[in-house]
Amino acid sequence: MTEQPTEISATATAEGAEAPKKLFIKTYGCQMNVYDSERMAEALGAKGYVTTEVAEEADMVLLNTCHIREKAAEKVYSDLGRLRPLKQAKPDLKIGVAGCVAQAEGEEILKRMPLVDLVVGPQSYHRLPEMVEAKGKVVDTDFPEEDKFDHLPQRKALRGPTAFLTVQEGCDKFCAFCVVPYTRGAEVSRPAARLLAEARDLVSRGVREITLLGQNVNGYHGAGEGGTWGLGRLLREMAAIDGLDRLRYTTSHPNDMDDDLIAAHAEVPQLMPYLHLPVQSGSDRILKAMNRKHTAEQYLRLIERIRAARPDILLSSDFIVGFPGETDTDFEATMDLIRAVGFGAAFSFKYSARPGTPAAEKPELPAEVSDARLQALQALITEQQRAAQMAMVGREVGVLYEKPGRLPGQMVGKSDHLHAVHVTDSLGKPGQLVRVRITGSAPNSLAGEPLRD
């Protein structure tokens, strides 16, 4: 999961609202949180809130938090501390904490930060409209019986031609370092018919690319026509939606890459040639300690099968270095695995304990050891990432334009392989899917020219 603090910048309007109130949302963490923030903005839109990018002009500030990274809760408390002058200047300002830190900390947030008015967990944010109207402080960290998605308003296409769609939530894997099974609960898959309806609706609003989201997305097992559908079936049915040009999904567990899903990579042209498949370590000893339930060899064989289905697929992964007990030999095994696979991108982190997880009981490695390993691993990944980008130069790729670039006559979009591409195209408009020849590679993006008749 990536850590990308973002602020919602689109507008959610209320029908018949007297005067719009302003909502500022800060989103921490993964793409699922970005999606949740959009849905929270839509839910609060029904109560007259429109979003703003300026915290100072907001009537409500909502921090949609993530617990996956180091000192996550402390970062949230320090952000809340920074809101104190704002609350003093505007006593009616509502301050809310949502997401996984809200789930994990609950009432503790109100005790430590009395300026907070509401605390809402990831499974109950559909109740936000009632919560903002409540007198006094509210904490809701339930795992309610009702499905929150049934209680949220219709989607708005907030991110131009691309959209996220949560198909699955929660995780039953219990990796030893991870809080997700505790904060998001058990795996739940949304029914296929609802997802297809939501996807059709997004496409009717101009969306051309949908990324299916789940904490363990390839563990999807939703009720569908004729029985339970896996992710492969869901992707095939989504691909049949007229006007939906691209599909992606994230985040996956290696053990849930079944035959049908792998075959979908060969058979579904809309499924883009990019796969984020976290492995975390290349050492079997550490994989066992992490409770990942697969070996390095099994991961490598899986990659062979995926590449046999889709030879040009670009792979990305997550790595944790310095897990308790990791030796130099274990770390070298991780480096060997990276060399063997050749990744186009990766997210890598130094291990840090999450309270309440089994790994938190174990002694941590000295910081300097983990720092040095992280540096070495990131250098190798950067080398592979640059090589993957350079291999694109001279090739023709599809680019879905998302927005104008900084330079006049420039458009920015994503390639099939999820590279950011800056295209010199004065005729370009957001939402166009254009064939582009890649002409150059910068550290984190590509440059290209459109191929127009």
Q: Are 152 and 134 in contact (CB under 8 A)?
A: no
User: Considering the rule CB under 6 A, would residue 173 count as an interface residue with ligand SF4?
Assistant: yes
User: Considering the rule CB under 6 A, would residue 171 count as an interface residue with ligand SF4?
Assistant: yes
| Per-residue CA distances from 127 to 40, 44, 181, 193, 269 (Å) | 9, 10, 22, 24, 39
Q: Is 66 annotated as a binding residue?
A: yes
β-strands 168-169, 188-189 pairing: antiparallel
User: Considering the rule CB under 6 A, would residue 69 count as an interface residue with ligand SF4?
Assistant: no
Q: Is 171 annotated as a binding residue?
A: yes
User: Considering the rule CB under 6 A, would residue 120 count as an interface residue with ligand SF4?
Assistant: no
User: Considering the rule CB under 6 A, would residue 139 count as an interface residue with ligand SF4?
Assistant: no
Q: Which of 23, 138, 167, 175 binds ligand SF4 (CB under 6 A)?
A: 175
User: Considering the rule CB under 6 A, would residue 67 count as an interface residue with ligand SF4?
Assistant: no
Q: Tell me the site size for ligand SF4, rule CB under 6 A.
A: 10
User: 99 vs 181, which CB is nearer to ligand SF4?
Assistant: 181
User: 215 vs 334, which CB is nearer to ligand SF4?
Assistant: 215
* DSSP codes, 367-421: HHHHHHHHHHHHHHHHHHHHHHHHTTTT-EEEEEEEEE-SSTTEEEEEETT--EE
Q: What's the angle, vertex CA 211, arms to CA 239 and CA 416, rounded to 5?
A: 75
Residues between 225 and 254 that touch ligand SF4 (CB under 6 A): 253
Q: Is 178 annotated as a binding residue?
A: yes
Distance CA 220, CA 230 (A): 5
Surface-to-core class of residue 46, CB atoms within 10 Å of its CB (0-12 exposed, 13-18 middle, 19+ buried): middle
User: Considering the rule CB under 6 A, would residue 289 count as an interface residue with ligand SF4?
Assistant: no
* DSSP codes, 296-340: HHHHHHHHHHHHHH-TT-EEEEEEEES-TT--HHHHHHHHHHHHH
Q: Which of 8, 102, 178, 341 binds ligand SF4 (CB under 6 A)?
A: 178
User: 215 vs 348, which CB is nearer to ligand SF4?
Assistant: 215
Q: Which of 181, 214, 282, 448 binds ligand SF4 (CB under 6 A)?
A: 181
Please state the closest distance from residue 318 (CB atom) to ligand SF4, in A: 8
Q: Which of 51, 215, 218, 357 binds ligand SF4 (CB under 6 A)?
A: 215
Contacts with ligand SF4 by CB under 6 A lie at: 171, 173-175, 178, 180-181, 215-216, 253
